[in-house]
A and B are shown apart, each in its own frame.
Chain A
Amino acid sequence: MIQLWNVSKKYRSGPVALGEVSFSVARGEFLFLTGPSGAGKTTLLKLIYREELPDSGQILVNGRNVTSLPRRKVPYLRRSIGVVFQSFRLIPRKTVFENVTYLPRILGMSREEQQRMCERALRRVGLAHRLNAYPRQLSGGEQQRVTLARALVCDPRIILADEPTGNLDPELSNEILALLREIHAQGTTVVVATHDRSIIESIGGRVLLLHRGRLVADAEREAGPEAMPRPAPLPFKADFRRAH
């Protein structure tokens, strides 16, 4: 579903954002991307949805080589990927319905189809009753759920979540994580970038650890604080242990 080979990225004025990163994510997998701030998590997600281009290396998403994708075809790639941000990024003057139905509108669906798809997406996140509310009328957790509904509305194959619980208290964080798990259970590939260790501990699963732009561990982790990570034999294993 997602494959990266020796992907490197360096911003004009700054250290290496990503260096020689290679990994693959299978269809329907749930993956955590973790590491301290500045490790390259957000850059990695941006490369996957082609917000950025790598300096070198190749990225395949849904069988399409993202690095050589013409600019005019980028929108079609993005339609198969749902993206969720820490800052929600809802348009305040638009209702929940209008915020959620950007993609159906772009695809030229009728008002009835938009309504149906929006209601279904909002049901999945438990907000079907807030269709006509404005973002300011919603709590932080509800706003993040609207963001999730926007990402889900056209059934994308991949969900990329960049610190989805960063602005939420632990209880709401768990709600969002439970939703992500549920979405994953329905067959969607989910990649969650987070620096919050407790989130990973609460769910478990495959964890990629980034440190200073390098992939230092790729491990399967059981849920629970006591469970030890089982990093794959990658360089900088010690860094992974230090970070946890």
Chain B
Amino acid sequence: MRLWKAFAYFVAEAWQSLWRSWKVSLVAVVTIGVSLFLCGAFLVTFRNLSRTVSQWRDDVAVVVYLPREATPAEVEDLRFVLGAPVWVQGVVEVSTADAAHRFEATFPGLAELARVGEEELFPASLEATVDPRRIDDAQFEEWIAGLRLHPAALLVDADREWLDQLAAAVRLVRAGGIALGAVLVAAAALTTSSILRLIAHAHREEIAIMRLVGATEFYIRGPFYFEGLFQGVAGALLAIAGMVLGFRALPDEGSLVASLLFSEPARLAELGWVLGSGALIGTAGAVLSLRRERGEPQVIE
């Protein structure tokens, strides 16, 4: 039998079977859909989170706040120490007036606060912009510790410290997400497998007749593989619809969490990944459902 004819037959039989047993097929489709939606949503939010953290790490700066009593010589020495490492791209001095302006620009609603009293609310500082790619971790830690001991340093604020903690947390989330995703995908594949076994059981008499008249295993199993594939693809499309519509349903003015996690919708490649995974889960379910039968030559009574 020509291959394309066989595939046409598989597609037609699988399609018919899907309609004939649409209720159980729907269970498989929804299970795959929900699992893939959760995996896909996790993929997108994780990617957004990773990107944000990565951007923050790229913009890392070390700010040394200066005490009012610091002498110009001490400040100059601090500037030298701050600018010495290879990973420092430049050092900028921020005066108390500049700091107040920044505050007003960032928090316009609180601008009045910056002008209360005669004393200067914001200390002057030296800001070092850092190239994170050139950082040597051990030397960086040593450098920060040295800055903290400098007589002209009131407070040293190194973004990198908490960003490293955030990155570690992100890695933990990723590991948890991968484990959860694996469980969900396995559950979806097993559900599909069980449903296809049910369908195969319902068709056992027909399968027996087909074997009796001389159908090959390829010909008998083909429709089931395609049915699993269709269920997987339908589940994936459901998940994709959920991801696209779910993103659109998010409010425009988001909170910090929303801007962290949902700053960008699912990319085409990610949707492709979901679709491919659906096809794979469905086919894997079909293979699993028919695997046990492989070793049994007797199917007729």
Give every chain B residue within 8 A of A75 (Cβ-Cβ): 211, 214-216
Q: How far is the CA of A108 from the CA of B10 in the complex (A)?
A: 12
Name the contact of A106 in the complex, choosing from B219, B298, B300 (C-beta under 8 A).
B219
Q: Is B267 an interface residue (CB 8 A)?
A: no
Q: How far is the CA of A154 from the CA of B75 in the complex (A)?
A: 101
Q: How far is the CA of A105 from the CA of B2 in the complex (A)?
A: 12
A108 and B213 in contact (CB under 8 A), knowing A51-B300, A52-B298, A91-B205? no
Name the contact of B205 in the complex, choosing from A72, A76, A79, A89 (C-beta under 8 A).
A89
B9 contacts A105, C-beta separation under 8 Å: yes
Contact flags (1/0) for A173-211 with B, using CB distance below 8 Å? Answer: 000000000000000000000000000000000000000
Chain B nearest CB from A120 CB (Å) reads 17
Q: Is A107 an interface residue (CB 8 A)?
A: yes
Q: How far is the CA of A108 from the CA of B206 in the complex (A)?
A: 18
A interface, size bucket: 20 to 34
Chain B nearest CB from A38 CB (Å) reads 15
Q: Is A103 an interface residue (CB 8 A)?
A: yes
Nearest residue (CB) in A for B219 is A106
A102 contacts B213, C-beta separation under 8 Å: yes
A91 and B209 in contact (CB under 8 A), knowing A52-B298, A105-B9, A108-B1? yes
Give every chain B residue within 8 A of A107 (Cβ-Cβ): 1
Q: How far is the CA of A102 from the CA of B208 in the complex (A)?
A: 12
Nearest residue (CB) in A for B298 is A51
Q: How far is the CA of A53 from the CA of B298 in the complex (A)?
A: 10
A150 contacts B213, C-beta separation under 8 Å: yes
Q: Is A83 an interface residue (CB 8 A)?
A: yes
Interface residues of A in 69-90 (CB under 8 A from B): 71-72, 74-79, 83, 89
Q: Could you list 22 A-B pairs, sorted by A, with CB under 8 Å?
A: A51-B297, A51-B298, A51-B300, A52-B298, A74-B297, A75-B211, A75-B214, A75-B215, A76-B214, A77-B214, A78-B212, A79-B214, A83-B212, A89-B205, A102-B210, A102-B213, A105-B9, A106-B213, A106-B215, A106-B219, A107-B1, A108-B2
Extra contacts, 5 of them, besides A78-B211, A79-B214 (Cβ < 8 A), are A49-B212, A52-B298, A72-B216, A76-B214, A89-B208
- 5 closest Cβ pairs, A-B complex: A108-B1, A79-B214, A78-B214, A75-B214, A103-B213
